[in-house]
Structure 1
């Protein structure tokens, strides 16, 4: 019934007449009044944008009546936001020249503000910028953001780690809905290609007020690429080559937009061989390949806007176990994962006279298969057996189906108050089809209700809210590998959470933020019910059906100071987690795998980030950046938490030249990342030695009549250092991380 309802809502298109409200305006330089060419003018709520022409002029057509936030940004100028009441005849807006990089609107926060206006600190990076720095994958790229690391199994599998918390404690959003793809597992990757993702936003700290369960560590919010500007058609091709893995990645995209309809389609393919470590050995079965399709259809009517998106991703990922065959083959060996991920989302917005209703609906289907060796084969045959020789039936096969909804009502502004209230939830089913059962057939139902408000004064902003959540988990009984019967489970998890934050700003030169927030996480199916060998994790896991909610409370302080020559920031946090869930070794073996059981204890994490950015005026092309990040995590009994990243210091020297006769947007950088010793390992971990990684890159754009060609090259671990990251799941086997890698990229757009 719920799927019929979703389909009905999907097909129900509002038949209202189109608006005839047009908006014209001009963007000028505040210092001399000259026009600003190629400025971005964007309505975040309408998802409608344009650019200024040579005279600084712009025009929007068919805008709905009401009050909307308009964002203007341009390279070399401070970004500007302005409330605009439609209809409006003509706007003249002035931008102040600035060496500070232009800001973007934060989509992951409720009120769609620039970062400097947000009460909550949010980090944002464009995917193009992360790719410039040589990212092999999306999970690799996000490690360039301060406070974010990646829990890796080779280069094909990575999980975001935000201030020491990972897996189900970090919520991932894509296409405006929460991603559900059995993400509890350390060896389960994101399942999303970076191609077709416009930018990534990171909320560091509990965000349960906005997102419910699983956001106690933070949120990784992936924004899909935008449609073409109104009344335009674009196409493009991208190609990347990676020297270390002999890997390649290609992508084709086409976009077109009119006044009412928009469309885009992108197809991508990537393939990588086993990566080579600093000791010149290739790590057997770290190879992977990925097929990805993204498409979208947008509609804009007078009182209604819709964005329908679909993403299909198929990944074949080898599961490394030991150093073996040294080849550059790209077909995974046994054991390996084959994962199909379908994400369908519909983002609706209904515009009322002085308010609006947002309704996001989503359906996901995740098909996860794991193939293993033939048990009757001789050991020497295993190394060379590729997935083409695998048994027809996978050893493990799970189908996860999820229906999401998120409905918000944006109240009319009352003076300086902006208020939003809403309900969120999901219904999820997990079914097993393989011979092995890691977690049982189950049904999960979530529902949450929340309200948040923002109060604005001249130099002060305040934001707060409350939320109630209920999660119901029901499972079937099943038999384990040792023929033990596991009883069915039927449990409810409830939680009430709140958040309060304040921001003080003085002429955008000094910004101080203080945020207090609580969050919760209901235990997942693996923690509650698992009882079996996990080939991807090389251990036998035993769940605990008596686990309680994790409940946390975090204090976050952020300070920023900036002028035309210099920027500095200081972020500190203290995160107390009650009933923290973790795996504890039992000191025994089952089927030759070490046994781990899920237990609970109170924990505390603390640390932060500090950094500077020097861009001396008038040498605006010169940038010196330095950042230090640290986090510590302990149980209240004094034991250290596992999987806590080591402290690190990153220094970057960067130059940028926007103008040129032949090449424009030229840049070059040199980066040195020093990772310190991790002398505080968890119960079943060992210490990790310090290491330093040198990287560099350059690139630029070439204008060819109606097309644009972008070329870039970057190199990571230039000195080919041998090292092991503390967050590598291959660390217990003393397997090193990736060595020198050179990435060459070409992008052509018309």
Structure 2
């Protein structure tokens, strides 16, 4: 690591004085008129600007070499072109009108391409769009992405499910580093606020080649908000009110950049009372969250670096039964108090036609769980002692994780783009509470990888290989080593002029986590006594994924199918015993198969380009090889959306929508689950931007479950107690740009 840092500094200094720039115009391909406020962005350099009233732009302090420019504006096809700096100094870029939404660069894959250029299918959605649908939290919002659901404990706790897999089988990345926050627990949420997050990317399927162990089921990649464009400043305020919980979230941010230095910060506050169903409030689903994000960066023509910090504190009620009916927002016992610190650095050294990327991260997760204390003595006589006692956490764990990711993008050789890299993690878990669910332990990961994107005339191929080793040392003496080779192969081609086909084959693995290996205690959040199994083997899977897409100026259609075979699938099973009044669950293994997919249709008929009709269906089935079904598999669902976009002299980016989501019966259940009845939920919304005091204001109004339907989602952890999900909720949002 010392060698890499020294090389980084040396290369930055030797190239400091070269000055490269580019200028140009962005025009309409038909009218040849300049396009105002088109976004011009160098994706690898992470530097961009906007065109002026004549379609003109200019950028300075650019590194030498071949770079991609992404040009986008609403109402036109996004265009990606390659330029060579300093050979290219003046350029004209023509865009074609289109009703299709703007494409974005996919950051979670190694070559940073548009999705239309990617060999791997990746879902991309902005947080802004997720919030306009009425999402209360980030974990709630991601369920609007095809193939993604959430295991929920009330409203404040949710964890992502990608095609039936969750917990340690799904990696979460934020600020470019992997999040580690004891994600093994069913009632452990993301530990992240949507404040300061710009977009979400989802890799559905094994991504062990790119991310190592724990990416067996997929990756949820959260892109932080970008810094301000060079020589600009920007401030904004955002507030949302939610009628159902009488709750709110609000945030304020400021960012500024000059030619070399940039910084930003954003603070947010969220509070919600217990959510309300058709007939009652669900006691202790209330929660409070405070979040602060800050970042600073430096960039010249050969080197860029940025440092980001996120502090998130959440007090989350853990619901157990229907009791107190109130709109107070302070959680009752039992509750979690979780503090997450995420510190990351992201640096790039630009060489001639190659670059070195170095990402470093440190995550400090402080998890406390408070519960009622039971006394055999007279509680009235010891009321004072009781009050002091409940201030001490029954379960208190600190998880400290340092990780690194170093990749070298080799010079392009003919048709080959190649990346080699090394990744690793050092993690320490320490207990401080009176109870202990998992022991003090140290985990070390290291992995090496190589992957190539090969460009042929009629098709693109991506392939790669990787080796990983994980070592777990428990203070009590247990030591385990796990290692695995994994590979991936994908091909993308145009079967016809408007039809794109993708086939991806990939293997993945997941080493057993500390909970699965060593648990021995009551897990209050799940009301069960869990016993680990030190003889567990690594899970290993092989997935086949096939995707077909048809796209023209009026219609988009896709069908995506997968088959995922997992050897040594780890699961919890009751053994019939009772300890401390809790049923005993032990960890077992068996081979399993998951299969299913997504189908989608989007119609935007010309000349009615303002009209959008969207429909999507998703399905997944999970079974062990003995034909018994896997637990917590999402029910099949169908979503239909009618959306209208409009512009008025006084209103910009106007929209309205009506959405009907139908979730079908879930009868394919494990031996320890019950059937779930299907339901349909109606949502609607409207919004737009308008000038206010010489600045732009955006107002959104949305409603979810407008018919106040009484229902239970199959992935709700409150389902065994027959507790309903949330009823009608009206969300009003305001964003004001300064």
- TM over 0.5, shorter chain: yes
2:627 pairs, out of 617, 638, 659, with 638
1:683 pairs, out of 667, 671, 677, with 671
Q: Residue 116 of structure 1 contacts residue 508 of structure 1 at CA under 8 Å; is this kept in 2? A: no
Which has the larger displacement, 452-461 or 142-151?
A: 452-461
1:451 maps to which residue?
450
Following the alignment from structure 2 to structure 1, what is the Cα–Cα distance between the partners of residues 677 and 657?
A: 27
Cα pair distance change 1:528/1:508, threshold 3 Å: farther
Following the alignment from structure 2 to structure 1, what is the Cα–Cα distance between the partners of residues 693 and 203?
A: 41
Correspondence 1:541-560 to 2 at 5 A: 541-560=530-549
1:8 CA drift (Å): 10
2:93 maps to which residue?
93
Indicate yes or no: 2:650 matched with 1:662.
yes
Cα pair distance change 1:192/1:262, threshold 3 Å: same
Query: How large is the RMSD of aligned CA atoms in angstroms?
Result: 2.0
1:596 pairs, out of 560, 585, 589, with 585
**Could you give the per-residue CA deviations for residues 438-491 of structure 1, whole angstroms, max 9, x where no partner exists?**
0000000000000000011232000000000000000022xxxxxxxxxx3101
Following the alignment from structure 2 to structure 1, what is the Cα–Cα distance between the partners of residues 662 and 117?
A: 32
2:32 maps to which residue?
33
1:161 maps to which residue?
161
1:603 CA drift (Å): 0.1
1:303 CA drift (Å): 1.5
| TM-score between the two structures when normalised by the length of structure 2 | 0.97
Q: Residue 308 of structure 2 contacts residue 345 of structure 2 at CA under 8 Å; is this kept in 1? A: yes
**Could you give the per-residue CA deviations for residues 49-92 of structure 1, whole angstroms, max 9, x where no partner exists?**
11111111100011111111111111111111111111122000
2:234 maps to which residue?
234
Cα pair distance change 1:240/1:621, threshold 3 Å: same
SS in 2 for 1:130: helix
SS in 2 for 1:317: strand
SS in 2 for 1:76: coil
Following the alignment from structure 1 to structure 2, what is the Cα–Cα distance between the partners of residues 707 and 32?
A: 30
Cα pair distance change 1:311/1:84, threshold 3 Å: same
Cα pair distance change 1:377/1:47, threshold 3 Å: farther
Following the alignment from structure 2 to structure 1, what is the Cα–Cα distance between the partners of residues 17 and 59?
A: 14
**Could you give the per-residue CA deviations for residues 673-716 of structure 1, whole angstroms, max 9, x where no partner exists?**
00000011112100000111000000010123641100001010
**Could you give the per-residue CA deviations for residues 74-131 of structure 1, whole angstroms, max 9, x where no partner exists?**
1111111111111122000101111111100000011000000000000000000000
Cα pair distance change 1:100/1:508, threshold 3 Å: farther
1:38 CA drift (Å): 1.3
SS in 2 for 1:63: coil
Cα pair distance change 1:239/1:5, threshold 3 Å: farther
1:567 maps to which residue?
556
SS in 1 for 2:61: strand
2:482 pairs, out of 483, 489, 493, with 493
SS in 1 for 2:515: helix
Following the alignment from structure 1 to structure 2, what is the Cα–Cα distance between the partners of residues 568 and 380?
A: 65
1:510 CA drift (Å): 1.3
1:600 CA drift (Å): 0.2
SS in 1 for 2:643: strand
Cα pair distance change 1:434/1:578, threshold 3 Å: same
Correspondence 1:60-75 to 2 at 5 A: 60-75=59-74
Which has the larger displacement, 6-15 or 427-436?
A: 6-15
1:727 maps to which residue?
715
Cα pair distance change 1:10/1:682, threshold 3 Å: farther
Q: Residue 11 of structure 2 contacts residue 349 of structure 2 at CA under 8 Å; is this kept in 1? A: no
Following the alignment from structure 1 to structure 2, what is the Cα–Cα distance between the partners of residues 233 and 376?
A: 59
1:424 maps to which residue?
423
1:14 CA drift (Å): 4.8
Following the alignment from structure 2 to structure 1, what is the Cα–Cα distance between the partners of residues 39 and 21?
A: 17
Indicate yes or no: 2:518 matched with 1:529.
yes
1:291 CA drift (Å): 0.4
Cα pair distance change 1:10/1:410, threshold 3 Å: closer
Cα pair distance change 1:610/1:392, threshold 3 Å: same
**Could you give the per-residue CA deviations for residues 120-144 of structure 1, whole angstroms, max 9, x where no partner exists?**
0000000000000000000000000
Q: Residue 373 of structure 1 contacts residue 390 of structure 1 at CA under 8 Å; is this kept in 2? A: no
1:81 maps to which residue?
80
1:377 CA drift (Å): 8.3
1:263 maps to which residue?
263
2:689 maps to which residue?
701
**Could you give the per-residue CA deviations for residues 142-168 of structure 1, whole angstroms, max 9, x where no partner exists?**
000000000000010000000000000
Following the alignment from structure 1 to structure 2, what is the Cα–Cα distance between the partners of residues 328 and 389?
A: 26
Q: Residue 242 of structure 1 contacts residue 248 of structure 1 at CA under 8 Å; is this kept in 2? A: yes
1:374 CA drift (Å): 2.0
**Could you give the per-residue CA deviations for residues 171-197 of structure 1, whole angstroms, max 9, x where no partner exists?**
000000110010111100000000100
1:609 pairs, out of 569, 583, 598, with 598
2:214 maps to which residue?
214
1:18 CA drift (Å): 4.8
1:324 CA drift (Å): 0.4
SS in 1 for 2:190: coil
**Could you give the per-residue CA deviations for residues 228-282 of structure 1, whole angstroms, max 9, x where no partner exists?**
111001101000001111111110100001010010000000000011113x211
SS in 2 for 1:269: strand
2:469 maps to which residue?
470
1:653 pairs, out of 632, 642, 648, with 642
Indicate yes or no: 2:660 matched with 1:672.
yes
2:731 maps to which residue?
743
1:357 maps to which residue?
356
1:621 pairs, out of 593, 596, 610, with 610
Following the alignment from structure 1 to structure 2, what is the Cα–Cα distance between the partners of residues 715 and 685?
A: 31
Unaligned stretches of 5+ residues in structure 2: none
Cα pair distance change 1:5/1:250, threshold 3 Å: farther
1:483 maps to which residue?
none
Following the alignment from structure 1 to structure 2, what is the Cα–Cα distance between the partners of residues 682 and 513?
A: 33
1:186 maps to which residue?
186
SS in 1 for 2:331: coil
1:484 maps to which residue?
none
1:31 CA drift (Å): 1.6
Following the alignment from structure 1 to structure 2, what is the Cα–Cα distance between the partners of residues 89 and 490?
A: 59
Cα pair distance change 1:285/1:390, threshold 3 Å: farther
Unaligned stretches of 5+ residues in structure 1: 478-487
**Could you give the per-residue CA deviations for residues 626-653 of structure 1, whole angstroms, max 9, x where no partner exists?**
0000000000001000000000000000
Following the alignment from structure 1 to structure 2, what is the Cα–Cα distance between the partners of residues 6 and 326?
A: 58
Segments ≥4 residues shifted beyond 4 Å: 4-16, 377-381, 387-390
SS in 1 for 2:131: helix
2:338 maps to which residue?
339
Q: Residue 10 of structure 1 contacts residue 346 of structure 1 at CA under 8 Å; is this kept in 2? A: no
1:481 maps to which residue?
none
Q: Residue 585 of structure 1 contacts residue 594 of structure 1 at CA under 8 Å; is this kept in 2? A: yes
Cα pair distance change 1:535/1:379, threshold 3 Å: farther
2:698 maps to which residue?
710
